[in-house]
Amino acid sequence: MKISCRKKIAVDSKKDAVIIPVYKNIRSLRTITGKKIDDELQNIIQSDYFNFDEKESKSFYIDVNKKLKKIYIIHVPKEKGEARFYMELGAKTASIFKKDKIYSFSLISFEDIYNEKKDLYITKAFLEGFMFNDYTFDKYKSKKSPEHNFEAEVITAMPKLKKYIDDNADNWNAVFDNINIMKDLVNTPANYLKPYDFAEFVKNNLPKNIDLTIWDEKEILNNNMNLLHAVGKGSVNKPYFLKLTYNGNKESSNNIALIGKGITFDSGGYSLKPAASMAHMKDDMAGAALMYALTKLIAELNLKININTYIPLAENLIGSNSLFVGDVITSASSKTVEILNTDAEGRLIMADALYLATKTDPEIIIDAATLTGACVVALGPYCAGIFSNRKFLSKQISDISYEVAEDVWELPLYADYEQGITSTVADFTNMSTFAREGGAIHAALFLKQFIDNYPWLHIDMAGPAYMEKNHPIFGKEATGFGLRLLFHFLNTHYTEGVNERY
């Protein structure tokens, strides 16, 4: 979305429409709207036409220089609220504009409405919500949606806000360009996005300042990634492994390890899923899409940080060479795993990648995966589970989660539960012997065995990565969940120098 900022009055806008936030008994806005708009605005909000219901939106026309101009008024609380309120308002407004075929608009800044000169987050949050809704995936439809690019012109009387938007709007667009790439990957049907296809897409869509290593099946075996190979060997579409390296801070040896689960389709293998549970298993590579898009974004913005990203890719299918229940596999770390359930495959491919990540002595290891249905049962579809072996990491990511409206909740790593993944014939089992109890916790405890006690943050995003129920900000299907959360986290706590959030 093209974003600009102007010090002008709304009556001079050349856009398709003007958005004016209002609250009950709002003062005159003449200095920023112009007298003609303000007079009509006051008549509207004092009439029965506008009720001041939560997030209410109404429109009207005025005659400006013999041309009709459409004005949208949207209700906001009298006192400024949290960022997510304005994100929801932006998403709702984008839906209205798409229906009304409005493609460019001027927006009276929320900061001007509130006379807020310090916390410049409100207009940005509204635009973020708008950009989340400004997404369509119709690649495989015979009838495409008409292409359009929204243009947003923020109108303000505040020089500080104008500078803030001028300095950062391009970065906001870079964030959402990568969110949309992530959404496209997750929404792509599995017959068009096999492990090889994912690897080729990454190869052909990387900034020049990222080094890429691709291992095929032979190289996976040569590097003892036997868990990854075991999961993917039953498919005719063999597994791949990607490593992306970005050295944005050549003066430091510090580095961050990112790992994303890349199961491009999950049938459950011989522990076959029910048909209903298999319907959206094209989304089981959302963690891989997230870590690829996050690394790409960091490199495009040239952040002063070093990143190593590990993406294991496989299809989990039934075949003549598929993994069997009861098999024992030796991992890359030399620890052995007894397979109790072939549908607990994500933790297997992640285990080999986590072990490999320890070899660069990282400051922190972060993994993201659509790992367990148990996490969705525990937290619902809108919230991801987080696990960490360092309390301060859980606190940091939770605080940022609240700010960016991407919800997470910490779940425990009870040491006593490790007995549930202890095998009688191998070092560990890949499925808890506690049956269905604490499934997300046992999966996290399994991953913990492969991190060598490095600072570690695990995100089980099985719920919010792909929504079957409509979310007020992210909508349905692929959401792009996690990119803003992790970008802000890394930019705040691990990037050298002072950086704007984005």
Contact 369, 348 (CB under 8 A): no
Query: What does each C-alpha distance from 233 to 217, 331, 447 come to in angstroms?
Result: 9, 15, 21
What share of the chain has pLDDT > 90, as a percent?
94
Catalytic annotation present for 84: no
- Counting every residue, how long is the chain? 502
Contact 502, 171 (CB under 8 A): yes
pLDDT the model gives residue 144: 83
| CA atoms of 493 and 231, how far apart (whole Å) | 35
CB atoms within 10 A of CB 441: 24
Query: What does each C-alpha distance from 270 to 2, 151, 234, 274, 425 come to in angstroms?
Result: 49, 51, 10, 12, 21
| CA atoms of 106 and 33, how far apart (whole Å) | 11
Map residue 283 onto helix, strand or coil: helix
Domain boundaries, the chain: 2-158, 184-493
Q: Catalytic residue, from 6, 273, 335, 390: name it.
A: 273
| CA atoms of 405 and 368, how far apart (whole Å) | 18
Query: 502 falls in which pLDDT band (50, 70, 90)?
Result: low
| CA atoms of 310 and 17, how far apart (whole Å) | 45
Q: What is the pLDDT of residues 132-172, one digit of tens each?
A: 999 999 999 998 887 778 999 999 999 999 999 999 999 99
Q: Catalytic residue, from 183, 347, 448, 484: name it.
A: 347
> Could you tell me the two tokens for 7?
């010090």
Which CATH code is given to the segment(s) 184-493?
Answer: 3.40.630.10
| CA angle, 4 then 475 then 204, to 5° | 70
Q: pTM of the prediction? A: 0.96
Q: What is the mean pLDDT of the chain?
A: 95
Place domain 2-158 in its CATH homologous superfamily: Leucine Aminopeptidase, subunit E, domain 1 (3.40.220.10)
- Phi, psi (deg, nearest 5) at residue 21: -70, 140
Catalytic annotation present for 273: yes
